[in-house]
Amino acid sequence: MKSKITEEISEEKENSEERKRKIVIPGEVIISGDDYLPGEGVRRDGENVVANRFGLAEIMGRVVKVIPLSGAYVPRRNNVVLGRVIDITFNGWLVDIDCPGSGFLPIAESPRFINQHEMDQFLAIGDIIAAKIWGIKGRGIDLTIKGKGLGKLEEGFIFRINPSRVPRVIGREGSMINLIKDNTGCQITVGQNGWIWIRGENIESSLKARKAVEYIADKVYIEGLTEHMEGWFTKN
């Protein structure tokens, strides 16, 4: 009996390399059996492993999870996000990062010393920053701008895509975003909250980069998207 189970598991592992995915809706049974472990967006209901939200079901070895296809951004620790400064308090900045709860950037988290009376010279209301989430407490999200590529974003423009499409835009180990950067020569920062900042040498290249990002966000379900985009750049 035991060997049968291990056999099944090893079989499943082989299958998982093909990455069989299917769309599931809340309450739908993804798979039955005691061998599977419910991951994110999935719960166990007796024999069955049931989806808890709408998305793509993925079975990786024994773990079953649901990858979201839509919906609002839910903040996670260590995410890089883009945000807009909406208020200056005595010890930091309040930042709108487009998610439940407001972001707070303490004065101590800025890379250099800033006089409390001249905070608006460093970051004024309306400025856009790239920041990293370093902690999520009951109410409020703590941000930091210490780190490479973080801080105030000047020039260029920002736009939004659906936060669930961000992983595809970045690609495996940044392959996709580097492809766009190489082909357009633009500076691009992608926030996990779906805000994207682009600064290019000229308007044409920045607009092309934006078009590429929006194309990827639209064609998110194609397999082998990086190769597809290489073709896209030679055509356009």
Partner 1 sequence: MTTKRPSGRKASEMREMIAKVGVVPNADGSAIFGFGNTIAIAAVYGPRQLHPQHMQDPSTGILRVNYDLLSFSVSDRKKPGPSRRSQEISKVIGWALLPVLDLKEFPNTVIDVQVYIPQADASTRVAAINAAALALAHAGIPMKDLVSAVSMGKIDKELIVDVDKDEEDYEEGEGATDFPIAKISNSDEFTLLQLDGKIQPELIKEALLMGKEACDKIYDVQKKALKEFVK
At closest approach, how far in Å is the CB of 186 from partner 1?
A: 25
The SS3 call for residue 60 is: strand
Please report how close the Cβ of residue 71 comes to partner 1 at its closest, in angstroms: 3
> 21 vs 211, which CB is nearer to partner 1?
21
Structural tokens at position 24: 């599931």
Q: How far is the CB of 43 from partner 1 (least distance, A)?
A: 8
Six-digit token string for 189: 């920062």
Tokens 């290019």 correspond to 200
Where do the H-state alpha helices sit in the chain? 2-18, 119-122, 166-170, 175-184, 203-218, 225-235
Instruction: Give me the residues that bind partner 1 (CB under 8 A), please.
Output: 23, 25-28, 41, 52-55, 68-72, 74, 99-102, 138-139, 164, 221
Q: Which residues pair with 197 in a beta bridge?
A: 158, 189
- Looking at the Cβ atoms of 7 and 45, the one nearer to partner 1 is 45
7: left (phi over 0), alpha (psi -120 to 50) or beta: alpha
Q: In the complex with partner 1, which residue's Cβ is closer, 5 or 29?
A: 29
Which residue, 27 or 126, is less far from partner 1 as judged by CB?
27
Q: How many residues does the chain have?
A: 236
User: Measured from the CB of residue 203, what is the shortest distance to partner 1 in angstroms?
Assistant: 25
Taking residue 157's Cβ as centre, other Cβ atoms within 10 Å add up to 15
Kindly tell me which of 28 and 127 has the beta carbon lying closer to partner 1: 28
CB of 27 to partner 1, least distance (A): 3
